[in-house]
Amino acid sequence: MDHRPLVVGLGGTTRPGSSSERALRGCLAIAARLGVQTVLFGADALDLAHYGGANCMSNPKAERLIAALRRADAVVLSSPAYHGALSGLLKNALDYAEELRNDERPYLDGRAVGCIACAYGPQAIGTTLTSMRAIVHALRGWPTPLGVGINASQVIFDESGASSTPDVNDQLDALARQIVGFVKMQPVRTLRPLCAAE
Ligand X SMILES: Cc1cc2nc3c(=O)[nH]c(=O)nc-3n(C[C@H](O)[C@H](O)[C@H](O)COP(=O)(O)O)c2cc1C
Give min distance, CB of 10 to ligand X, in A: 13
Listed in sequence order, the residues at least 6 apart from 62 whose beta carbon sits closer than 8 Å to its beta carbon are 48, 49, 56, 96
Give min distance, CB of 172 to ligand X, in A: 14
Taking a C-beta distance cutoff of 8 angstroms, is the pair 92, 48 a contact?
Answer: yes
CA atoms within 13 A on the CB side of 97: 25
| Rounded distance between C-alpha atoms, residue 103 and residue 100, angstroms | 5
Annotate each residue in 5-24 with x if it binds ligand X (CB under 6 A) or - if it does not, as one string: -------xx-x--xxxx---
| Rounded distance between C-alpha atoms, residue 63 and residue 81, angstroms | 27
Number of residues in contact with ligand X, rule: CB under 6 A?
Answer: 18
CA atoms within 13 A on the CB side of 67: 8
Q: Does residue number 129 form part of the binding site for ligand X (CB under 6 A)?
A: no
Q: Does residue number 169 form part of the binding site for ligand X (CB under 6 A)?
A: no
Annotate each residue in 23-62 with x if it binds ligand X (CB under 6 A) or - if it does not, as one string: ----------------------------------------
Give min distance, CB of 37 to ligand X, in A: 24
Q: Does residue number 163 form part of the binding site for ligand X (CB under 6 A)?
A: no
Contacts by residues 190-194 (CB-CB < 8 Å, ≥ 24 positions apart): 190/104, 190/105, 190/106, 190/109, 190/110, 191/109, 191/140, 193/106
When binding is defined by CB under 6 A, the residue of 46, 124, 129, 148 that contacts ligand X is 124
- Name the residue nearer to ligand X (CB basis): 52 or 84: 84
- Name the residue nearer to ligand X (CB basis): 5 or 80: 80
Residues at the site binding ligand X, with contacts judged by CB under 6 A = 12-13, 15, 18-21, 80-84, 118-121, 124, 152
